[in-house]
């Protein structure tokens, strides 16, 4: 490093980090150690990590350095550290899904996504905190304590992937992985001032992703820049024969799109329904400015109506719990993790019941009960059947909208990060955090959240949501890259540089 005061390694983007390692300006081991030291210094306050794999991270970094020493070619993310949401299986490393139910479970296999990261030479630092089984919007439903938002530790970092987003914002890792069933990548991204992408459903393998709602769950990239998210997207996406819903088609050229920084000629639709009551004034102010910016950058902006989107939330809260009630039935105390009351006097059924009582938290129990009810005979058509019909209407709204525009935009969330505890006892208020993100899960298309400034009333980050048709994920990166570049030019720095030091 030739600068007099070098930027600390932890502040580098993933692209810069990989470049510096490839050129030999820094070793992968030094990079890994810098991040492990950072975790050591701040994670007692942030609680982004449930498990830090110091030895594994250093071994992976050493392997990258050895490869380089032998003159072998390194991939675009070789040696870059990453924080992995604790919902993906990792061979030999605990995977808890934020639940007591899986305490002590060591998976015997890697998720496809985990394997792809390892093959790319990405250095997995550890597993991040999350709402139990990915149900929640604040990480308050984790059985292992809440994560703090690095902008203000008394506020939520979003959920369910709050740990991954907080790790980025606290400079504990330049890359992270999340999963998005109803917004769990985008909403944490929005409230922490980071970038989060839900790729097209079926484009990132779900093999080894512990299932919550299988028809909605999708893994995806989290990063501090649009280009970094694109690099990670290309590393994890692509067909996997081990996932029956995996799409067998080429991955859209997202890295190329992130580098374009040009939206001239694009048609952008503003979703009319995502405004009004319940939307924080400062969030709408930053959103309106982003729309104006897109116009200045040469896009054509029109207003679009998607009337069925107002039904998305209730439909989601029937479909997701229904699928969860079936998926979570596998936690029977016999196969994974926790087993309570197995003292030789009780039947298997009693042990299963005692284990579920002790192992699942209140929100997970609520969802299982809701889902079981919605699927019960006599109510199936009224609840689950109706919700599936709404799902079709939402897809049709998207189809009609995308006939006239290339992407849709909206705020990612109605409000900025709320105080820890504020919505903990009010499930409805909690569910409203995903009002704008859920339609894309129900339709299976692609969506991104990227930071567009701070709300004036509380100085907390605001996210812009961009939505593209299925398998047109590249459009997210084209628009996101252009907005990010224009804002950084305007501010003279990135948004996270305004975050208070931890
Ligand atoms: N907050 C939503 C829920 O609680 C979404 C969760 C997610 O995307 N995993 O279900």
Given CA atoms 331, 332, 338, 340 in this order, what sign does their dihedral have? positive
CB atoms within 10 A of CB 480: 28
d(CA 463, CA 287): 8
Within a domain: 38: yes
320 pocket-lining for ligand 1 (C-beta < 6 Å): yes
Query: Ligand 1 centroid vs 397 CA: distance in angstroms?
Result: 22
Q: Return the pLDDT at 7.
A: 77
Per-residue pLDDT tens over the stretch 163-209: 999 999 999 999 999 999 999 999 999 999 999 999 999 999 999 99
- The answer to whether position 333 is within a domain reads no
180 lines ligand 1 (CB under 6 A): yes
Q: Is 137 in the pocket of ligand 1 (CB under 6 A)?
A: yes
Catalytic residue among 160, 205, 290, 410: 160
CB 432 within 8 Å of CB 476: no
Q: Is residue 470 situated within a structural domain?
A: yes
Distance between CA 77 and CA 406 in Å, rounded? 30
Please indicate whether residue 434, judged by its CB atom, sits closer than 6 Å to ligand 1: yes
Q: How many CB atoms lie within 10 A of CB 277?
A: 5
Model pLDDT, residue 445: 98
Q: Which residue has the tokens 């189809």?
A: 399
pLDDT over 80 (residue 2): no
Separation between Cα atoms, residue 325 and residue 311, nearest integer Å: 22
Owner of token pair 């996932």: 243
27: annotated active-site residue: no
Q: What range does the domain containing 400 cover?
A: 9-308+394-498
Give the domain CATH number at 402.
3.90.1300.10
Render pLDDT for 234-292 as a digit per residue (tens, 0 to 9). 999 999 999 999 999 999 999 999 999 999 999 999 999 999 999 999 999 999 999 99
In a domain, 375, yes or no: no
Residue 4's pLDDT is what? 59
Give the integer Cα–Cα distance in Å for 340 and 317: 30
**Residue 314 domain-assigned?**
no
For residue 14, tell me if it sits in a domain.
yes
Ligand 1 mean position, distance from CA 219 (Å): 13
Greatest CA separation for the chain: 73
User: Can 272 be counted among the known catalytic residues?
Assistant: no
Q: Ligand 1 in contact with 183 (CB < 6 A)?
A: yes
Short-list 224, 312, 168, 235, CA closest to 488: 224
As a whole number of angstroms, the distance between CA 443 and CA 472 comes to 14
Pocket test for ligand 1, best of 160, 164, 198 (most atoms within 8 A of CB): 160
Tokens of 495: 């948004």
Q: What is the tens place of the pLDDT at every residue in 343-364?
A: 999 999 999 999 999 999 999 9
**Residue 355 forms part of a structural domain:** no
Probe ligand 1: pick from 134, 324, 414, 440, max atoms within 8 Å of CB? 134
Cβ of 435 below 6 Å from ligand 1: no
For 353-392, what is each residue's pLDDT tens digit? 999 999 999 999 999 999 999 999 899 999 999 999 999 9
How many domains, the chain? Answer: 1
The CA distances from residue 128 to 121, 388, 453, in Å, are: 19, 32, 26
In the reported structure, the alpha carbon of residue 153 is separated from the centroid of ligand 1 by a whole-number distance in angstroms of: 22
Q: Which residues contact 389 (CB under 8 A, 6 or more apart)?
A: none
Q: Is the CB of 135 under 6 A from ligand 1?
A: yes
160 in catalytic set: yes
**What is the average pLDDT across 313-320?**
98
Mean pLDDT of the chain: 97
Q: Is 34 part of a structural domain of the chain?
A: yes
């Amino acid at each position: 490093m030739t600068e007099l005061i070098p930027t600390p390694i932890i502040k580098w983007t993933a692209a810069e980090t990989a470049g510096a390692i490839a050129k030999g300006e820094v070793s992968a081991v030094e990079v890994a150690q810098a991040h492990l030291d950072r975790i050591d210094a701040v994670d007692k306050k942030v609680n982004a990590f449930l498990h830090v794999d110091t030895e594994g991270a250093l071994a992976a970094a050493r392997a990258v350095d050895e490869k380089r020493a032998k003159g072998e070619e390194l991939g675009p993310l070789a040696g870059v550290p990453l924080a992995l949401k604790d919902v993906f299986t990792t061979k030999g490393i605990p995977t808890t899904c934020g639940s007591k139910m899986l305490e002590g479970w060591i998976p015997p296999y890697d998720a496809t996504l985990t394997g792809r990261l390892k093959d790319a030479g990405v250095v997995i630092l550890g597993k991040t905190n999350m709402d139990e089984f990915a149900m929640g919007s604040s990480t308050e439903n984790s059985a292992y304590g809440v994560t703090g938002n690095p902008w203000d530790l008394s506020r939520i970092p979003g959920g369910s992937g709050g740990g991954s987003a907080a790790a980025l914002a606290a400079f504990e890792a330049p890359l992270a992985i999340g999963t998005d069933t109803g917004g769990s990548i985008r909403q944490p991204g929005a409230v922490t001032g980071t970038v989060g992408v839900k790729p097209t459903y079926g484009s990132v393998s779900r093999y080894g992703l512990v299932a919550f709602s299988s028809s909605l769950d999708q893994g995806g990239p989290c990063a501090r820049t649009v280009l970094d998210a694109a690099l990670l997207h290309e590393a994890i996406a692509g067909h996997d024969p081990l996932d029956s819903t995996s799409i067998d088609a080429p991955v859209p050229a997202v890295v190329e799109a992130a580098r374009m920084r040009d939206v001239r000629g694009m048609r952008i639709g503003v979703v009319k329904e995502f405004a009004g009551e319940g939307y924080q004034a400062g969030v709408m102010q930053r959103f309106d400015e982003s729309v104006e910016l897109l116009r200045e950058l040469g896009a054509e902006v029109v207003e679009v109506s998607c009337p069925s989107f107002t039904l998305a939330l209730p439909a989601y809260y029937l479909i997701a719990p229904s699928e969860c009630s079936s998926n979570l039935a596998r936690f029977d105390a016999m196969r994974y993790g926790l087993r309570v009351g197995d003292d030789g006097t009780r039947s298997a059924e009693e042990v299963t019941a005692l284990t579920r009582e002790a192992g699942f938290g209140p929100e997970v129990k609520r969802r299982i009960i809701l889902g079981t009810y919605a699927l019960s005979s006599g109510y199936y058509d009224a609840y689950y059947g109706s919700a599936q019909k709404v799902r079709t209407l939402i897809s049709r709204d998207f189809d009609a909208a995308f006939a006239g525009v290339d992407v849709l935009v909206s705020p990612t969330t109605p409000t900025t990060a709320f105080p820890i505890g504020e919505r903990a006892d009010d499930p409805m208020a909690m569910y409203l955090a995903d009002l704008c993100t859920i339609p894309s899960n129900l339709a299976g298309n692609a969506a991104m959240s990227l930071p567009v400034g701070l709300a004036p009333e509380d100085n907390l980050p605001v996210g812009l949501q961009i939505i593209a048709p299925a398998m047109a994920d590249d459009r997210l990166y084209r628009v996101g890259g252009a907005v990010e570049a224009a804002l950084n030019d305007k501010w003279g720095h990135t948004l996270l540089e305004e975050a208070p030091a931890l």
